[in-house]
Amino acid sequence: MKNHKLIAARKNRKLTQEQVAEILKVANKSVVSNWENGNCKPRIDHAFQLSTLYDETVDYLFGDEMK
């Protein structure tokens, strides 16, 4: 199930998946794509980095998925 909040937060910051991957130092944009498409969840450290990058809480970005 797509994480629409994560996608919207990235787009609000005018960042590409490639840019996010570079900032977070993950392998490539497919990792970010997998998070956004709900294929997998980020590690907790990446979740906190995304929260900081997007200026949103971890609960807002991933709360519905953690239940």
Query: What pLDDT score does 67 carry?
Result: 47
Tell me the CATH number for domain 4-66. 1.10.260.40
Q: Is residue 24 predicted with pLDDT exceeding 70?
A: yes
Q: Is the pTM of this model over 0.85?
A: yes
- Average pLDDT estimate for 15-25: 97
Token output for 19: 């840019």
Q: How confident is the model at residue 63 (pLDDT cuts 50, 70, 90)?
A: confident
* Nearest residue to 44 (alpha-carbon basis) of 66, 29, 64, 28: 66
Every domain of the chain and the residues it spans: 4-66
Token output for 60: 């807002």
3-state secondary structure of 39: coil
Burial code (b: 16+ CB inside 10 Å, e: under 16) for 12-31 equals eeebebeebbeebebeeeeb
